[in-house]
Structures are given as structure tokens and as C-alpha cells.
Chain A
């Protein structure tokens, strides 16, 4: 198991950092190789630029400047995003990572005249989201959780057909208590354990 954790939060001492540590710890215990991309500390520039769009469809040139991100993305079989939900969606820095790194020839093939785009991340069989929301669970559901859908449905279309997903969120972050935070970290740990175990069992079942 090769897991890439894409982490995005501006504060090194945030609760999201504790979630990241929990996820990475459980993955390591399960025997996974783990790589981390900490987008804020890498000072990842999120705005897709005009010159990048000019060479966007040129698969020889469109990896320029994002070689390391692509190396990690093509290396992993498990892709996990750890971030705070802002405005029901991904922080701009993480959204920009998708905009700039999921290029044609890597994440997908551009459509021909009568087809849809073809997925390019079919080596990814597990996709996870661990997040926090300021809003309540009810309000998040009312809005339709666009951030969760962007990844667990949108990015998932680019991954393996039977890609398994995992999700956990702490809602109402502004009224969180030490107890609710600890309980959430425990839940994250259990979810990762169960996810990894079920994926391994499934693998052992003969086709």
C-alpha cells in the first residue's frame, strides 16, 4: 500500500494537523508506505496561470513545474485529502492543487469527438477525505457538501472503477470541545484501520 496524504492548512498547530498525524500514524502501523504533501509549507501556488493553460493539452510540456506532485500522484495507490472545509468546499490552495496537477495525460485523457474524458488515475484504488466543517451537519447536507462531492465523486471518476472511499468530518468546529475533538480523532483512527483492513481482505479474495 502506497498512500499519498495531501494536507492543506495554514496553521501548523491546527486540529487538522492532528487529524493528519492520526491518519499517517494509522497508515504506518498498517504497514503502508506514506508520503505527505503539505501544500502550505511547500508554498504551493494555487492559481492556474495563462502559460499553464497554453500548454495544458500538450502532454510533453504540461508537467513542467509540478513534476514532484505528479511523481507522487502516479506513485500512490491510496490518495487521502486532509483539510478544513471553507465555504462548503476545499481551501483555495487545495482546489488549486487539483486545478494545476490533474492535467491531461496524467489524470485523464482529453475526449475525442464523441467520447467523454477517460480516467488516468486507475492505479488509485482508495480515496479518502478527512475534514472539519464550521457549519452543522444539517446545513452542510442542505448545501450539498460540494467539497466532499468534488473529491469523492469528481476526482473518483478519474480513479479505478471500484475505488473504495472513506470520509470523516467534525462538524460545528466553532463549538468543538476537547472531548468532541478527542472523540473525532479516535473515529478517524478507527475509520482508517477498518478501511485499510477491508481493502486488504478484499485483495486476498481470489477473483
Chain B
């Protein structure tokens, strides 16, 4: 069975992000994926890279010590799905902290001659499911940093065969119909992931 790690970052169970998260997990389960559902808020993940972690950052393999459980889950994944709201044109701190602390040298990348080499190439499928408060135009005006963070930075260390970036813009003014349509789209895309 192929395993999908779902990284989710939103503190409110009644949020639209939460509904998206639920749709992702249920659809993948139905399609026969072995889903590792990692709800960062619910698991009490600490997003803060500590002084000790920074000092030992390049010491492989000891650097994985404080987050060994998460490293193991990442290494076991054939697919990675990130579900999060865009806040201030970036990841929520909770999800950013996962990258800071778990995407370590020797885990997500190797440094060879000072160059970053991908080390998560077992992740063959990568997806992000997200919502923006701002409009698409506003996101483009800023250069859409979260889209780049996923489709270039995370892509660069995974080099997946398939990548999806599913976004609903202008969330605060989105109608009920627009939200339903986006949920349906996410279900469809995850169904054929």
C-alpha cells in the first residue's frame, strides 16, 4: 500500500481549512491510500527551532534527534499533501516550523560541494490545498510566495512525478457555492492523485 503524509495546519475544527483537510483524508482513504494524518495543531507540534537544534543543525544523523518521529513519518511517505490557509502571503508559522525543524540536512536535502541535492525523491506525488484571504490579483501582485514555496522550494527536494497546487482565493468573500465547488474540486483531484 502506498502511504500519503497529510500535513495540516489550522487551529479551528470548524474552519473551512478543516473541511478541506477532512475531504483530503477521506478521499485518499477511499482510494486505498494508507494515510498518515498529521494535524500539527492537534498533535501539539512545536514550530520553534531551538538554539540547541540550530547549533546541531548540520550534525548528521544526531540532528534528527528532537524530531525523530516526524522524520520517520516523512521518510515513509510516497506522497505529501499540505493543507493550510495562507496567512500574510506565507505558510502559517505552525507549518513553516515543520519545514524549519524536520526538513533537515540528511533528511530532505544533502549538501554536496555546497549545493543542495534533493533527498525526498521517494515522494512521487506532491500537493497543496490552500485558501487565500486576498484575491488572485493581490497574490500575483506580491508574487504569490506560498505558491513558490510549495511548487519550487518543496518541489526542489522531492522532484515529484505529479504536483498539484489547489487554491481558493478571496476566501472572505467566497460564496457558499464557490466553497462547495472548491471542495468538489479537491475531492476530484485527490480521487485521481
Contact = CB atoms under 8 A, between A and B. Distances in A.
Interface of A: 9-12, 14, 40, 46-50, 53-54, 86-93, 95-96, 98-99, 102, 110-111, 113, 116-117, 134-136, 139, 142-144, 146-147, 149-150, 153-155, 157, 172, 174-175
B152 A89 contact: no
Given A40-B51, A48-B11, A49-B11, 8 more contacts: A87-B96, A91-B96, A139-B116, A143-B148, A146-B145, A146-B148, A149-B145, A153-B143
Contacts of A49: 11
Contact of B92 (A99, A110, A135, A147): A99
Question: Top 9 nearest A-B pairs by Cβ distance?
Answer: A96-B93, A92-B97, A146-B145, A154-B89, A46-B93, A144-B148, A92-B47, A50-B11, A10-B51
Contacts of A46: 47-48, 93-94, 97
Interface residues of B, number: 46
A47 B41 contact: yes
A95 B96 contact: yes
Nearest to A113: B173
B116 A146 contact: no
Contacts of B87: 48, 98-99
Given A10-B50, A86-B99, A95 B93 contact: yes
B103 interface: yes
Nearest to B95: A92
B141 interface: yes
Contacts of A134: 116
Interface-centre pick from B48, B93, B134, B143 (highest chain A CB count, 10 A): B93
B100 interface: yes
A50 B41 CA distance: 10
